[in-house]
C-alpha cells in the first residue's frame, strides 16, 4: 500500500515537472541551465535578435501550451534592453497559451526610484511593476529588492526571497570576533538589522548618508560605536561604489578594525572612467561577499554565492503546491 502511494506521488511530481518549462534570457543563461538541472525541468529554447535600429525580436522555439513557465532575467546594465527583452518574452509566452507566467528576476532593476524624492519625478519602480503585469506576468520572484513596499506595487503574488540568509552563512564562516553590522544609510537599516539578528544578534550601526548629487553621496556621521570593531557593511547593492567608499572612510576615522562588504547585488558600474571594483579594492575593504544575481568574471576579491539552488527549490515548491515561506524560514533562518 505504502509502495503504491510512493509511486503515485512520484508520478505526480514528474507530471508537475513535465508541465513546467524554464527559459533563461540574455542575462541569466548559465543560472537557468543550473536551475533546469537541479529541478529536472526542461530548459526551453528561444531566439532573440536585434533589428538594425535596436528594436528587439523574440520567438519561442519550444511549446509552452498549458505549462507553468519560468522566465529568468536580471534587469541590470543595459537595464532598458534587458527589461524590454523580458517584457517581450512575457508577451510571447502569454500569447502562446501558457498556463501561468512566472518571472524570476534575481536582480530587480529600477527598484531604487520607489517614491518621489522631489516634485515632478517618476516613480519608476511602480511603472516597471505596471509594465510587467500588463505584459502578462502572473508571479514575480526576486531577491532582496531595494524596498519591501514595492511588493504593494503589484496585484499579483510577489516573493521577495532573502539572499541575506545565504550571505549570513558565508559571513559566519569568517569567524569574525567583535562583529558589528553597518547599514551605510537609513534606508537599509531594517535589512541590516535582519542580518545582524541571524548573526547572533550582532550590534548594529547606521551611517547618516546624504545624497549630494545624482549618483553621488556623502557619509555624515556614524550612529553607534565602531571603535575596535570588525565591520560588515551590508547593503542591497553597490552601483558606482560611492556609498561604500565614503562609509569606509568614516568608519576608519572612527577607529573600526577590518571592514568587509556584504551586498545582495553586485551592480558594479563604471563612473567617470573609474571601475567600481577598483574603487572598492583601493578603499581598504578586505573582501566582498555577494550573490550571482548579476554575472561577473571570477575574482579573488569578490565571493559570489550561487542562487541557483534557492531558485530551483522555490520553483519546485511552487509547482508541487508546497509553501515557499515555510521552506525558506527553515533553510535560511529568514522569513520571506
Q: Which residues bind ligand R5P (CB under 6 A)?
A: 112, 184-185, 187-188, 215, 217, 235-243
Q: At what angle do helices 164-173 and 189-198 cross, to 10 degrees?
A: 50
CB of 243 to ligand R5P, least distance (A): 3
Q: Kindly tell me which of 140 and 266 has the beta carbon lying closer to ligand R5P.
A: 266
Q: Kindly tell me which of 106 and 241 has the beta carbon lying closer to ligand R5P.
A: 241
CB of 211 to ligand R5P, least distance (A): 9
Helix or strand (DSSP H, E) at 24: strand 20-24
Diameter over CA atoms, the chain: 70
**Vertex 192 angle, CA 235 and 285, to 5°:** 50
CB of 276 to ligand R5P, least distance (A): 7
CB of 327 to ligand R5P, least distance (A): 27
Q: Kindly tell me which of 27 and 147 has the beta carbon lying closer to ligand R5P.
A: 147
Minimal CA–CA distance to 87: which of 66, 76, 103?
A: 103
The one catalytic residue among 209, 277, 279, 316: 209
By the 10 Å C-beta count (0-12 exposed, 13-18 middle, 19+ buried), 271 is classed as: middle
**Residue 68 CA neighbour count, 13 Å, CB half:** 17
Q: Kindly tell me which of 85 and 239 has the beta carbon lying closer to ligand R5P.
A: 239
**Would residue 48 show up in a list of annotated catalytic residues for this protein?**
no
Q: For 194-220, b where at least 16 C-beta lie within 10 A, e where not — what string?
A: bbbebbeebebbbbebeeeeeeebebe
Other CB atoms within a 10 A radius of the CB of residue 266 amount to 26
Pairing of strands 158-161, 68-72: unpaired
Alpha helix (H) residue ranges in 96-177: 124-135, 164-173
CB of 179 to ligand R5P, least distance (A): 21
Q: Kindly tell me which of 239 and 313 has the beta carbon lying closer to ligand R5P.
A: 239
* Strand, helix or coil for residue 217: strand
Catalytic residues: 209
Amino acid at each position: 500500500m505504502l509502495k503504491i502511494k510512493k509511486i503515485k506521488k512520484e508520478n505526480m511530481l514528474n507530471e508537475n515537472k513535465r508541465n513546467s518549462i524554464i527559459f533563461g534570457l540574455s542575462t541569466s543563461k548559465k543560472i537557468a541551465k543550473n536551475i533546469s538541472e537541479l529541478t529536472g525541468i526542461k530548459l526551453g529554447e528561444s531566439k532573440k535578435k536585434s533589428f538594425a535600429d535596436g528594436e528587439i525580436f523574440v520567438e519561442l522555439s519550444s511549446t509552452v501550451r498549458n505549462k507553468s513557465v519560468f522566465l529568468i532575467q536580471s534587469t541590470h546594465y543595459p537595464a532598458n534592453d534587458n527589461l524590454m527583452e523580458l517584457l517581450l518574452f512575457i508577451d510571447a509566452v502569454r500569447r502562446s497559451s501558457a498556463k501561468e507566467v512566472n518571472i524570476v528576476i534575481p536582480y530587480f532593476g529600477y527598484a531604487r526610484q520607489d517614491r518621489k524624492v522631489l516634485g515632478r519625478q517618476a516613480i519608476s519602480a511602480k511603472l516597471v511593476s505596471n509594465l510587467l503585469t500588463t505584459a502578462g506576468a502572473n508571479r514575480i520572484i526576486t531577491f532582496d529588492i531595494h524596498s519591501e513596499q514595492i511588493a504593494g506595487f503589484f496585484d499579483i503574488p510577489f516573493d521577495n526571497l532573502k539572499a541575506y540568509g545565504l550571505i549570513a552563512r558565508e559571513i559566519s564562516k569568517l569567524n569574525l570576533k567583535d562583529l558589528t553590522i553597518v547599514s551605510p544609510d537609513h534606508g537599509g537599516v531594517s535589512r541590516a538589522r535582519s542580518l545582524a539578528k541571524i548573526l547572533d544578534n550582532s550590534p548594529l550601526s547606521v551611517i547618516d548618508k546624504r545624497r549630494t548629487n545624482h549618483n553621488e553621496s556623502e557619509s555624515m556621521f556614524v550612529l553607534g560605536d565602531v571603535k575596535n570593531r570588525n565591520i560588515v557593511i551590508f547593503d542591497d547593492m553597490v552601483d558606482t561604489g560611492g556609498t561604500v567608499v565614503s562609509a569606509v572612510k568614516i568608519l576608519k576615522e572612527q577607529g573600526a578594525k577590518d571592514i568587509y562588504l556584504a551586498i545582495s547585488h553586485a551592480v558594479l558600474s563604471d563612473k567617470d572612467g573609474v571601475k567600481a571594483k577598483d574603487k572598492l579594492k583601493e578603499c581598504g575593504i578586505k573582501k566582498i561577499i555577494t550573490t550571482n544575481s548579476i554575472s561577473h568574471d571570477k575574482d579573488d576579491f569578490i565571493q559570489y554565492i550561487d542562487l541557483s539552488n534557492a531558485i530551483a527549490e522555490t520553483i519546485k515548491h511552487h509547482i508541487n503546491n508546497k509553501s515557499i515561506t515555510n521552506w525558506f524560514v527553515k533553510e535560511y533562518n529568514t522569513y520571506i
